[in-house]
Amino acid sequence: MSASERASREAAARNELEALAASEGAGREAATAGTPQLPPPREPGSYKIALVCLGNICRSPMAHVVLADRVAAAGLDDRVEVVSSGTGDWHVGGPMDRRAAATLHAAGYDGSAHRAQQVVASWLDDCDVLLAMDGQNLSDLRALAPGGADSERVRLYGEFDPATPGAEVPDPYYGGDEGFAEVLAMVERTADVLVDRLAEAVSR
């Protein structure tokens, strides 16, 4: 192969990579275009996001692990803190459901460090936003505030789901493995949106 042919092929390969990157970027922008913004941070330059379900052993810890992974990959982990909790106290101090952990592990995530905790009223002031997995979780969160919770900061997690905006994340606890796979798919695509929104929030 001549030097000119090699240079031509290298240029074509570079153009192909640039086109692919542009296409992926456009796809990402299209996915986030219809989703809402996060509320502004209480302290500029940092953000604390809480993910809340019923017992903090299935949905919210899966969402927590995936979002924390995305945050770290985006280089935001020094400015963004991800936490999770449950509205109930049944599993406080325990690990996540073994099926949730196994589903995460099969997808390359590590949920072994998780320990369940219960949300308390002080989280409403400490966190920049709290996202509830379903409508009942949302009602329970808002009930923690005597004068009513700030609706901008206490919201439904599914608002940020680009595929089914506003959908609840179904509780897989009483079902089979397929329910956990469904939850993982939902939280992965939603995490992709949230990490972009978090990047915007900490840059304000």
pLDDT of residue 18: 60
pLDDT of residue 150: 84
pLDDT of residue 21: 47
Which domains are assigned to the chain? 34-202 (3.40.50.2300)
Rg (CA), the chain: 19
Each of the 204 residues of the chain gets a pLDDT tens digit; together they read: 566 665 566 666 566 656 554 554 545 555 566 789 999 999 999 999 999 999 999 999 999 999 999 999 999 999 999 999 999 999 999 999 999 999 999 999 999 999 999 999 999 999 999 999 999 999 999 999 877 778 899 999 999 999 999 999 999 999 999 999 999 999 999 999 999 999 999 997
Q: How far apart are CA 57 and CA 84, in angstroms?
A: 10
DSSP 118: B
pTM summary value: 0.84
- Torsion region of 166: left, alpha or beta (phi above 0 gives left; psi -120 to 50 gives alpha): left
- Residue 39: name the closest of 170, 143, 159, 168 by CA: 159
Q: How far apart are CA 144 and CA 87, in angstroms?
A: 10
Question: At 117, is the secondary structure helix, strand, or coil?
Answer: coil
Q: Which residues are catalytic?
A: 53, 59, 171
pLDDT of residue 175: 95
